[in-house]
Amino acid sequence: MPYLTSIGTVRRTGGVEQLGFGVPGYAHPLLAPTEWAELTRPGTPLHWAVLNIDDGPGARPDPHCLEAAGRLRNARERAVQGETPQDSARAAGGRLLGHLDLAFGSRSFGELIADAQSFLDWYRVDGFYLGQCPAGRAELPAVRRLTCTLAALLEHDEGGEGHGPLVLGLGTHPHPGYAEVADQLVTFSGPWADYRWSQVAEWTAAYPPERFAHFVHGVPRTHLEEAMRIARWQGAGTIFFTDRDGQHGWDGRHGQTDPFAALPGYWDEFVSRIGPGISE
């Protein structure tokens, strides 16, 4: 079933029939080699991972990012071919998304399309993650124009497979119209203290879980199962939870404070709780 009906073509379903991971942006592969390597481990229930060099594709191709993108693409191809039984759980996922920073609507259409084309030319991305996406009704036409153009670029990209997805990095529940202009909406991104008391917008009940993603930081290991229950109850099909709080550098050397830039301390347990082949 197509979600981007305005481009007049049957495109993609997003490939997220089961609960799995969306990685909003690991650190540069040179600084986070373990993180990027884990994405290609057979059986990892990965839906997609975001590549973000410098709030976009950067000024030129980065050799370390090219290598990471190639490994993820090769892992996906092996999964699609079904080389191992566990890989079948990843066959519809494992996509690489280029990060486009919308700056809450302040960046021009031309700049964003130029960044998108660079991602396609250099890294052969499968889709795009629209970070700092506005959520109001007034900005909806501009976002619709952008996603329709991005969909067309993906459809006609000679080096890619032409089937997205497009993910809106909102972090909150937007105007309901946004559900019709992209494949997936990030409707929560924030701390565990807020997530455990959060409420889901009523209009989301009309859509399947594969249309929504939740990112939560500061989740203690002892509350991991509770966080997963909340995600299921609120209808999120893609998640990323971490015990990192974003207040301290995760590597002790580089001062990286983005809580989603590195693996959570309980990564192996997190993977096993979802597991391959578990239908939601």
* Cα 273 to Cα 264: distance, rounded to the nearest angstrom: 14
Encoded amino acid at 12, one letter:
R
**234-257, pLDDT tens digit by residue?**
999 999 999 998 775 545 444 557
DSSP string, 193-238: HHHTT----GGGGGS-GGGEEEEEES--GGGHHHHHHHHHHHT-SE
**13-54, pLDDT tens digit by residue?**
333 457 899 999 999 999 999 999 999 988 889 999 999 998
At which residue do the structure tokens 């959570």 appear? 264
Q: For the chain, where are the alpha helices, taking DSSP H only?
A: 33-38, 63-81, 109-123, 140-156, 192-195, 224-234, 267-274
* Cα 227 to Cα 272: distance, rounded to the nearest angstrom: 15
Nearest of 105, 134, 99 to residue 258 by alpha carbon: 99
Q: Where does the pLDDT of residue 261 fall: very low under 50, low under 70, confident under 90, or very high at 90 and above?
A: very high
Q: What percent of the chain has pLDDT over 70?
A: 82
Nearest of 233, 261, 253 to residue 242 by alpha carbon: 261
* Cα 21 to Cα 213: distance, rounded to the nearest angstrom: 9
At which residue do the structure tokens 């497009």 appear? 166
Question: In the predicted model, is pLDDT for residue 70 greater than 90?
Answer: yes
Q: Where does the pLDDT of residue 164 fall: very low under 50, low under 70, confident under 90, or very high at 90 and above?
A: confident
**24 phi/psi in degrees, rounded to 5:** -70, -10
Tell me the HSE value of 90 on the side-chain side, using a 13 A CA sphere. Answer: 31
* Cα 125 to Cα 150: distance, rounded to the nearest angstrom: 12
Question: Looking at residue 55, what DSSP letter applies?
Answer: S
Tokens for 36?
């990027």
Of 73 and 221, the one with more pLDDT: 221
**224 phi/psi in degrees, rounded to 5:** -60, -45
Quickly count helices (H) and strands (E) in the chain. Answer: 7, 8
Question: In the predicted model, is pLDDT for residue 9 greater than 60?
Answer: no
Question: Looking at residue 28, what DSSP letter applies?
Answer: P
- Residue 66, judged by CB atoms within 10 A of its CB (0-12, 13-18, 19+), counts as middle
pLDDT for residue 42: 83
Question: In the predicted model, is pLDDT for residue 218 greater than 60?
Answer: yes
**8 A C-beta contact, residue 50 and residue 240:** no
* Cα 5 to Cα 2: distance, rounded to the nearest angstrom: 6
Question: In the predicted model, is pLDDT for residue 82 greater than 70?
Answer: no
Rounded to whole angstroms, what are the CA distances from 258 to 133, 134, 238, 261? 18, 21, 19, 5
